[in-house]
Amino acid sequence: MNPRDVVITGIGLVSSLGEGNDAHWEKMTADRPAPVIDTERFAPFVVHPLPQIDWSLQIAKRGDQRQMETWQRLGTYVAGLALDDAGMKGDESLCSTMDMIVAAGGGERDQEVDESILAASLDTNDRALLLNRKLMTDLRPTLFLAQLSNLLAGNISIVHKVTGSSRTFMGEEGAGVASVETAAARIRSGQSSHALVGAAFQTEHPDMLLAYRLGGQLQQGPWQPVWNRDPSQGGGIFTGSGGAFLVLESREHAEARGARIYARIAEIVSDRVRRSDGTLESRLREMAAGLAEGEGPHLALSAASGAYEATVAERKALEDRYVLRGLTTLTGHMKEAQFPFAVALAALAVAHGEPYKPFDPSEAAFAGSPHSVLATAVGSSHFEGMALIGAA
């Protein structure tokens, strides 16, 4: 054992399945795990919605709640769950020296203002004048603040007093991979002793779905498991709201404070394959082979988006050596939060010493106890990441 081993001591989870580690473990290890979906609000598109959340449990001040949009409240809430789970919440000496790395998008737009500008543009030819007028009358300074990607980290600092160094990465699944990878690298190098890392995604907002739709990535029609989506029905992605935060520590720091350790992050690799060359499948196979411990089969928690070409390539690359569990079948695609969520679920499986049962009938059964689990995130259009999560 190395004193600078990167260990996971806190996990915070929220998805359509519920909130907290116990709720997710119970529902994802059931004999027949079932997704929670909403087929009506955004028809013909399906979403995995947020559960009912009492925000005050992690964000005590109403004023703090009001000045956040749902995405920020969600991320701040999930970060609080992780800090609670690690036994760090409210500990000033730990939180004031804790580093934070957040993977984030660009916030939510003001739908009413956007619609009013579009409607007014139909009645004028001088749209430059119209925009200038709207800038002075309709667009509040706080709207621009709400768009800042690093505002989530700022709110976590304010609410939970996490005031060490702070970094925010943007770039969809790649941001989630880079956030965990960077935090782990800092701990291994001795630059950091403990860090809060994660992301949140709120899909139940028209502009979030519009971006996927314009990119041709949303799936239409009836819900299907992530491995079995019909390419004739769209781009393969059913989105979901949720978030995942992790508390990472060096082994030395965790043991010194008597922390419970779920698992260790043995290694992380990432890449940006030029997918037009048709080499994604072979590169994913190489990445996984470099992380594998011993003979297979091993368990893999895949955060595959459902995007057809990337998801097919991942399954072909891994299914010979790994028993796959496509978490997106149950949670939907959570963008930046995909990779932290996969790492969290892998850590829970290692800590419990039990595998997840198949999430859909096409997945094979897994016999035995998973001493290590592969967590993956292959972006819908770019960026690939894998982490090997091992026993502490």
For the segment 57-101, what is each residue's pLDDT rounded down to a tens digit?
A: 999 999 888 888 899 999 999 999 999 999 999 999 999 999 999
Determine the pLDDT at residue 121.
83
Contact status, residue 167 vs residue 182, Cβ threshold 8 Å: yes
Q: Rounded to the nearest 10 degrees, what angle do helices 151-160 and 70-86 cross at?
A: 50
Query: For residue 216, is it within any domain?
Result: yes
Distance between CA atoms of residues 90 and 181, nearest Å: 26
The segment with the largest mean pLDDT, out of 112-121, 256-265, 270-279, is 256-265
Query: For residue 125, is it within any domain?
Result: yes
Distance between CA atoms of residues 356 and 27, nearest Å: 10
Contact status, residue 11 vs residue 347, Cβ threshold 8 Å: yes
Query: For residue 195, is it within any domain?
Result: yes
CA-nearest of 262, 240, 238 to 74 is: 240
Percent of residues, the chain, with pLDDT higher than 70: 95
Contacts of 85 (CB under 8 A, 6+ apart): 9, 10, 11, 12, 21, 247
Name the band, by pLDDT with cuts 50, 70 and 90, for residue 126.
confident
Angle at 306 between CA 301 and CA 311, to 5 degrees: 70
Q: At which of 97, 123, 143 does a domain end?
A: 143
pLDDT in tens, 217-237: 999 989 999 999 999 999 999
Tokens coding 30: 């059931």
The segment with the largest mean pLDDT, out of 59-73, 105-119, 122-136, 343-357, is 343-357
Are residue 52 and residue 115 in the same domain, yes or no? no
Domain with 128, as residue range(s), is 111-143
Q: What is the mean pLDDT of residues 163-172?
A: 92
Determine the pLDDT at residue 352.
96
- The mean pLDDT value of the chain amounts to 92
Name the band, by pLDDT with cuts 50, 70 and 90, for residue 20.
very high
Query: For residue 162, is it within any domain?
Result: yes
Are residue 139 and residue 153 in the same domain, yes or no? no
Query: For residue 356, is it within any domain?
Result: yes
Query: For residue 84, is it within any domain?
Result: yes
| H or E element at residue 94 | helix 92-95
Determine the pLDDT at residue 18.
97
Q: How many independent structural domains does the chain possess?
A: 2
Question: What Rg value do the Cα atoms of the chain yield, rounded?
Answer: 21
Are residue 270 and residue 133 in the same domain, yes or no? no
Are residue 279 and residue 350 in the same domain, yes or no? yes
Contact status, residue 201 vs residue 334, Cβ threshold 8 Å: yes
Task: Measure the N-to-C terminal CA separation of the chain; round to a whole number of Å.
Answer: 9
Are residue 274 and residue 377 in the same domain, yes or no? yes
CA-nearest of 323, 285, 284, 328 to 306 is: 328
Q: What is the mean pLDDT of residues 8-27?
A: 98
Determine the pLDDT at residue 122.
85
Q: Is the pLDDT of residue 109 over 70?
A: no
Determine the pLDDT at residue 133.
82
Least confident of 40-54, 193-207, 286-300, 306-320: 286-300
Name 239's bridge partners: 47, 333
> For residue 205, what are the CA distances in angstroms to 107, 195, 256, 352?
10, 30, 44, 36
Query: For residue 202, is it within any domain?
Result: yes
| Phi, psi of 199, deg, nearest 5 | -165, 165
Are residue 268 and residue 121 in the same domain, yes or no? no
Are residue 121 and residue 170 in the same domain, yes or no? no
Are residue 323 and residue 310 in the same domain, yes or no? yes
Query: For residue 1, is it within any domain?
Result: no
Q: Higher pLDDT residue, 368 or 188? A: 188
pLDDT in tens, 298-351: 999 999 999 999 999 999 999 999 999 999 999 999 999 999 999 999 999 999
Determine the pLDDT at residue 64.
86
DSSP H helices, 199-266, are 206-214, 251-256
Are residue 135 and residue 180 in the same domain, yes or no? no
Are residue 377 and residue 235 in the same domain, yes or no? yes
Determine the pLDDT at residue 2.
87
Query: What CATH number does residue 170 fall under?
Result: 3.40.47.10
Are residue 237 and residue 356 in the same domain, yes or no? yes
Q: At which of 127, 143, 159 does a domain end?
A: 143
Determine the pLDDT at residue 277.
86
Contact status, residue 102 vs residue 167, Cβ threshold 8 Å: yes
Count Cβ atoms within 10 A of the Cβ of residue 60 and give its class: 0-12 exposed, 13-18 middle, 19 or more buried.
exposed
Are residue 159 and residue 262 in the same domain, yes or no? yes
* DSSP characters over 307-332: -HHHHHHHHHHHTTTEEEEETHHHH-
Q: What is the mean pLDDT of residues 38-58?
A: 95
pTM above 0.85, yes or no: yes
DSSP H helices, 300-386, are 308-318, 328-331, 338-352
Q: At which of 143, 162, 187 does a domain end?
A: 143
